[in-house]
Amino acid sequence: MSRRHDLESLGESHTLVDATDAHLELISDEDVRDCVDSAMVYQGDLELDGRLSLHSGAVLIVTGTLTVTGAVLTDETATLIVGKDLRARHLYLEGNLVVNGDATLRGAVYGFYEAGISRVKGTTRAQLGLIGNHDWESGSEEYEIGATFSNYQHGHCEFSSGDADALRAALGADGYAALAKMLGLGTDEPADGNAAWGLKAFANVPRGEATDP
């Protein structure tokens, strides 16, 4: 299993400092800026082996490029600000995110929960882009498979755009079954009632990588 990083473990293994006004200027979206009173800062480029999961109100600013071998996740209370580019396997969107450069994912960018605001100022590139009712904007988007859906009202989900067959092929049978009802592509309840949360459905994206996203 890959190493799991969060704000607490980063504080133990890397030098973090309290944010100054100059650091907070990296929050280029005004709505996200209004949500942040204080933050911890990593100055420069940050490379992590494993996944980065921010939760429990964590606010992290990386002034340079953030490179993570696994996934980057924010829960509904967390905020991640990247001064330059973000590179990872997956990007899971619940909380707030600002990337002032490009976001490049080997696997998926995925957001359906409405709590946060996610902004990529440059280009987002991924094998799979799957966006529901999360507040998401990117300067441009380049996906091998792109799909959008509306999950605003439980029980009335709608697949808005994309190729359902290509999505099924990319996710595999189990991953597709886990998400199909929320995407408006099926009526069966997933075996795991919490299947939409997190990245379990993307364990085989991209093909050939270990199944711990």
Residue 22 C-beta-side C-alpha neighbours within 13 Å: 3
Give the whole-angstrom CA distance, residue 194 versus residue 67: 28
Ordered DSSP codes for 36-81 = -S--EEE-S-EEESSEEEE-TT-EEEESS-EEESS-EEE-TT-EEE
Instruction: State the pLDDT at residue 82.
Output: 98
Q: The pTM is what?
A: 0.95
Distance between CA atoms of residues 54 and 68, nearest Å: 13
Please compute, for residue 28, the number of CA atoms within 13 A of its CA located in the half-sphere on the CB side. Answer: 16
Q: Which helix (H) or strand (E) holds 57?
A: none
Task: Compute the mean pLDDT over every residue in the chain, rounded to the nearest whole number.
Answer: 93
CA distances from 52 to 10, 72, 134 (A): 9, 5, 20
Q: Provide the pLDDT confidence category of residue 5 given band limits of 50, 70 and 90.
A: very high
155, 181 in Cβ contact below 8 A? no
Q: What is the pLDDT of residue 194?
A: 83
% of the chain exceeding 70 in pLDDT: 96
**Tell me, what's the pLDDT at 156?**
75
Helices and strands of the chain, counted as H and E runs: 4, 17
Q: How far apart are CA 202 and CA 211, in angstroms?
A: 8
Task: Find tokens 């490379």 and name the residue.
Answer: 47
Separation CA 192–CA 80 (nearest Å): 28
Minimum mean pLDDT range among 4-8, 58-62, 138-142, 154-158 = 154-158
Calculate the CA 7 to chain-centre distance: 16
Amino acid occupying residue 152: Y
pLDDT score recorded for residue 143? 98
pLDDT at 165 over 70: yes
Q: What are 161's two structure tokens?
A: 């755009």
pLDDT value, residue 155: 60
Burial level of 4, CB count in 10 A (0-12/13-18/19+)? middle
